[in-house]
Amino acid sequence: MKGDLLWLSSVLLLLPGAGSCPEKCLCHTSSKSVDCSRQGLREIPSELPPRTQILHLQHNHIGDVPTSAFSRTPLLRTLDLSHNAIFTLAPGAFLGLAHLQVLNLTQNSLHSLESKVFQSLPQLQELDLSFNNIQELPEFKGDTLSHLTRLAVQKNQLQQVHRAHLASLPSLRALFFKDNLWKCNCHLLDLKLWLESFVYKGGITDGVICSSPDIWKGKDLLKIPYELYNTCLPLLGKGGPIQPQLPGTAQQDPPQPSHAQEQVDQSRSDCEFKPKARPVNLRHAIATVVITGVVCGIVCLMMLAAAIYGCTYAAIMAKGHGEPLSHINEPGRPGEERGPLSASLA
């Protein structure tokens, strides 16, 4: 590393014009700072004093940071790139900045970050990524960002952050996450658990305000009641009694049971992407209707069968009884009628 630096400095010394102050910048040799802010710059100046420790490039029109953009100023400690139009950071944009402590990228147009982009910054303490369009945080590797104490990502488009990405930042003390598109479903439970222990250990955070689902909209993830845990715990895969160790969750008021049921269903569907489960009451109602229908159907069929049987039986009986009666009566009638007549005549 030292050999590289020596080689780099000697190359820089040999280059004509290398290390001179760019036309549009103010170079303060005593403070080792260079101010190129508000100069309408579209690119990072290629010629900078190699001993620069503080570089102000804010309020320009810089659109991208190419690989090794600052390799000629390897002693940088503070780099302010805020208020530019940076859309892309090359994966090796900050290569060689072994002493960089503060990197300010707020108010740019970043929407994605290469996972390796901050890995070459072993001394980085403050990283400001606020006011961009970032949708996903890169996986910060602990062994390279082991000194990061302050991370600002507020006002971006984050929906979720994996706990593992933050757990690898052992020195983190302040975390700014407000004004993102936080999707407060079971996937964010991981973050909630991590944040709770982070705050418990003295960490500072400005809160994670949910923007969806509707039931949690506007609520702080840290204040979402306990009920969410019950549905999400089996999904965590880790299981185990996590709740008792959580500070600040036990005091929560239990919400109304009907609400709780709704929340349960909502969070389940959010995590498993299953169709929303029907409430128990509705399921009971459907079962009751189905059973009633079946029973009624059977009864109706039996009644119909009984009616047919009854009619048929009645018809047969009517036929059977009708014929003998007429046979008996017809021949009998004249005899009977004649009987008394003849008797009276006689």
Tokens, residue 99: 């002493």
**Minimum distance from residue 79 beta carbon to ligand NAG (Å):** 10
Q: Quote the Cα angle for 109-176-75, to 5°.
A: 65
**Minimum distance from residue 131 beta carbon to ligand NAG (Å):** 9
**Minimum distance from residue 187 beta carbon to ligand NAG (Å):** 28
Candidates 64, 114, 126, 139; binder of ligand NAG (CB under 6 A) is 126
Residues β-bridged to residue 27? 34
- Comparing CB distances to ligand NAG, the nearer of 101 and 119 is 101
Tokens, residue 180: 């993102």
Burial 81-97 (b: 16+ CB within 10 A, else e): bbbbebbbbbebbbbbb
Residues β-bridged to residue 99? none
- Cβ distance 202 to 171 under 8 Å? no
CA dihedral 224, 253, 275, 183 (to 10 degrees): -10
Collect all residues with Cβ–Cβ distance below 8 Å to 234 and sequence separation of at least 6: none
String marking each residue 27-66 x if it binds ligand NAG according to CB under 6 A: -------------------------------x--------
Candidates 52, 82, 101, 120; binder of ligand NAG (CB under 6 A) is 82
By CB under 6 A, is residue 220 in contact with ligand NAG?
no
Candidates 128, 196, 227, 270; binder of ligand NAG (CB under 6 A) is 128
- Cβ distance 174 to 205 under 8 Å? yes
Question: Which listed range, 13-21, 101-109, 188-196, 242-250, lies at the site for ligand NAG (CB under 6 A)?
Answer: 101-109
By CB under 6 A, is residue 132 in contact with ligand NAG?
no
By CB under 6 A, is residue 102 in contact with ligand NAG?
yes
Kindly calculate the radius of gyration of the chain based on its CA atoms and give it in whole angstroms: 43
Candidates 56, 72, 83, 268; binder of ligand NAG (CB under 6 A) is 83
**Minimum distance from residue 65 beta carbon to ligand NAG (Å):** 16
Q: Which residue ranges make up the site for ligand NAG (CB under 6 A)? A: 58, 82-83, 102, 104, 106, 126, 128
